[in-house]
Structure 1
Amino acid sequence: MYACMNGIIHYYLIITNMNRIIISIFTLAGALTLNAQSDIVVLDLTKATTTLNFDAENGAWTGTYDDDAESIDSQCFSFVHNSMGDYNTWWGFTASNSANNVRQDDTLKFQFSNMAKGGIVLNEDGTVKTDENDMPVVSAEVPYMVAYASSAFAKHPADMAFNDGKAYEAVGVYVNLNSYPYYCIEYGDSYARAFHNGDKFTLTIHGIAPDESERTVDTELASYTNGDLTINRGWKYVDLSSLGIINQIYFSLKTTDVGQWGDNTPTYFCLDKLMVKPVSTSGIPTVNANDANISYDRANKTVSIGNASFASVYNTAGQCVMSSENSSFDISSLSAGIYVIKAGNSSLKIVK
């Protein structure tokens, strides 16, 4: 069944399990029309520049335990990957095409699956393909990202940056429960207990702006309230527009099942069809006065001010961070961010 609230369609699959109700939530918050805009970049691992081959048994990317594999790159996206192959250990992101969401005895071996049984299919125009119920079409042939976001390895273990050095406007992403934490939440195992009243498993998505400020979006992957376990089985769309302009995203998971050595619930989740929008500075007019004609060469990180005799560079806090009397000067020493260059009565806003 479904309900429409505030223009957002919530689909529910209700399964009775003893005295609990397990609800699989699929939320489409305008994603299907949003990514139809031609300027939005939608993560598509079939376009990956990193070679993606997959293990025939568990669906894992064959580079998962390769210590030399430092990232998975596709289009403008670069997902951090780390491993200690000698110890069969990895963290950050890997890729998978597993469609097996069955509960396994060897949970670590089959830690590369999601509960939706595949990745999200795209139409030829790059939009999300949907079925007759407007649900995303899922296929075992479509690869997706798997994240292991354990804080035991790094402060920001599941990190994504843009490989072209540009800033982008955050749009949205689909997330899903990895099958490993899913079955631990429902049944428990030798490390984690099954969830009970008051328990939650929350994904936080952190957007880092060019000025290094941070905004976050939270989404619950599982929660146990009043005797009911609400748990995500399908691809859930998360609106990221509130993150604004970003040059980095990192992901963290929080569980209420915590022991002496940290999180007991395995801190895995799955991700697909991350969407961002390029930030354009071409539409910002250059105002000419006193023969000043300010321009910015982003590739070479140089500013030209024509015949002006002096220029100042200001950050978003209004602080002057650089000045120059040269007609052309280098700003590569400045941190990535948004700046305003002033020369005479002219100004130009840039994104470095």
Structure 2
Amino acid sequence: MILVAAFTGAFALAKSQNVVDFENLSLPPDSFWNGSDMSGSFTANGIATFPNSFVDWGGGMTSWSGFAYSNKADTVTQDFSNQYSNFAGNSLINSPIFGVNYNNSDWNTGQIIPNVVSFSSVIQPISMYVTNSTYAALTMKNGDAYSKKFGGTTGDDPDWFKLTITGMLDSITTGTVEFYLADYRFIDNAQDYIVKDWQNVDLTSLGAINKLSFSLSSSDTGMFGMNTPAYFCFDNIMYSLYNTISENHTTALKIYPNPSSDVVFFNKKLNNVEIYNSLGQIVLTHPSMNDFINIRSLPSGYYLLKATDNGEIIKQLLIKQ
């Protein structure tokens, strides 16, 4: 979206890159966390919160959806009990723990329900590593009682399994990246593939975001929804933080409190203060010199504050509670 790009382009990226690699979490060897502690979520590397829904149905029956984390790498067992293993059979260097995504589906429509990870700061996502779960990969390769063998009996069926990653700034969609975890649409069957290695996916086109949404889709979809197991594994989400900038990077503007629900104060008197929403629209102005502005009338969300100080244009991210 052009207006969103203009909004996010008003910020400068920190030079350093950061990573969500789950290494602040701990697991015994060959194990996983799936939300059975009923915590409802987990936070990785202090910035990314991954929601989880765990249900104990009684009689030893449980289910989960959303996000889990694991260090399992069984590449040969094709059944539901192996839903936490990555198909690469290994972990990334210095990152033995990885994330597992499972998308639930709507009981009425069969539509896949996206899973959304939230970030506590506005970030520029750079890339992330993804691979298949062993359960999904071997099901596509061999088929089972519920899911077809990709390619069919002849190998000619144009099957596919796709991950869709959507960037969001609050409720505004900033962009979408698609990645095929399996693709059998080639004329030459020798080119058909199911992803087995860790693959790096470029996310830079998503711009400034504070949420990433993950959804899976498949050619093997019937009247009750997708038949392919709705899993994939991921790790090392690389990102940079957005910083406050001025046009010549010399003026240090401080605004407080930030976030705020009422009046925002500046550490200096500013002229021509303008507040932009995430669509790039001016929603509030204060043309005269002042060291505060009242934002009580604004809906909660992220805004860009733009002002002039001694002829210099200053821009700052502002959060309305």
Q: TM-score range by the shorter chain?
A: 0.7 to 0.9
- Counterparts of 2:249 and 2:127 in 1: how far apart (Å)? 32
1:273/1:319 CA distance change after superposition, 3 Å: closer
- Counterparts of 1:347 and 1:183 in 2: how far apart (Å)? 57
The aligned residue for residue 327 of structure 1 is 291
SS in 2 for 1:185: helix
- Counterparts of 1:316 and 1:71 in 2: how far apart (Å)? 28
The aligned residue for residue 314 of structure 1 is 276
> Structure 1 residue aligned with 2:215, among 244, 252, 268?
252
Give the residue type in structure 2 aligned to 1:215.
Answer: G
Q: Which has the higher contact order (CA 8 A, sep 6+)?
A: 2
Q: How does 1:157-176 map to 2 (within 5 A)?
A: 157-162=114-119, 164=120, 166-176=121-131
Could you report, residue by residue, the CA deviation over 1:259-309 in whole angstroms, capped at 9, with x for unpaired residues?
111000011000011100111114555899xxxx96423644334274458
The aligned residue for residue 6 of structure 2 is none
- Structure 2: gaps spanning 5 or more residues: 1-13, 152-156
Q: How does 1:193-208 map to 2 (within 5 A)?
A: 193-196=148-151, 197-208=157-168
Give, in angstroms, the shift of residue 337 of structure 1: 3.1
The aligned residue for residue 351 of structure 1 is 317
Give, in angstroms, the shift of residue 65 of structure 1: 2.5
The aligned residue for residue 73 of structure 1 is 44
1:265/1:309 CA distance change after superposition, 3 Å: closer
- Counterparts of 1:204 and 1:329 in 2: how far apart (Å)? 40
The aligned residue for residue 95 of structure 1 is 69
Give the residue type in structure 2 aligned to 1:350.
Answer: Q
Q: How does 1:34-183 map to 2 (within 5 A)?
A: 39-48=16-25, 52-54=26-28, 59-61=31-33, 63-86=34-57, 87-104=61-78, 107-122=79-94, 142-152=96-106, 156-162=113-119, 164=120, 166-183=121-138
Could you report, residue by residue, the CA deviation over 1:117-148 in whole angstroms, capped at 9, with x for unpaired residues?
232113xxxxxxxxxxxxxxxx8xx1110100
SS in 2 for 1:184: helix
Give, in angstroms, the shift of residue 38 of structure 1: 7.0
Bigger shift: residues 65-74 or 201-210? 65-74
Judging by fraction of residues, say which structure has more strand. 2
> Is contact 1:72–1:94 with CA below 8 Å preserved after alignment?
no
The aligned residue for residue 5 of structure 2 is none
> Is contact 2:247–2:313 with CA below 8 Å preserved after alignment?
no
> Structure 2 residue aligned with 1:341, among 301, 306, 315?
306
- Structure 1: gaps spanning 5 or more residues: 1-36, 123-138
SS in 2 for 1:180: helix
Could you report, residue by residue, the CA deviation over 1:86-121 in whole angstroms, capped at 9, with x for unpaired residues?
3511111100011211124xx222110011123211
- Counterparts of 1:179 and 1:42 in 2: how far apart (Å)? 25
- Counterparts of 2:138 and 2:239 in 1: how far apart (Å)? 32
> Is contact 2:40–2:51 with CA below 8 Å preserved after alignment?
no
Give, in angstroms, the shift of residue 341 of structure 1: 3.0
Question: What RMSD over aligned residues (CA atoms) do the two structures have, in Å?
Answer: 3.1
- Counterparts of 2:303 and 2:273 in 1: how far apart (Å)? 16
User: What percentage of residue pairs aligned between the two structures are identical?
Assistant: 26
Could you report, residue by residue, the CA deviation over 1:19-44 in whole angstroms, capped at 9, with x for unpaired residues?
xxxxxxxxxxxxxxxxxx97111222
Could you report, residue by residue, the CA deviation over 1:219-262 in whole angstroms, capped at 9, with x for unpaired residues?
11111133343111110111111112111111111100001110
Give, in angstroms, the shift of residue 78 of structure 1: 1.6
What is the TM-score with the length of structure 2 in the denominator? Answer: 0.77
What is the TM-score with the length of structure 1 in the denominator? Answer: 0.71
> Is contact 1:203–1:251 with CA below 8 Å preserved after alignment?
yes
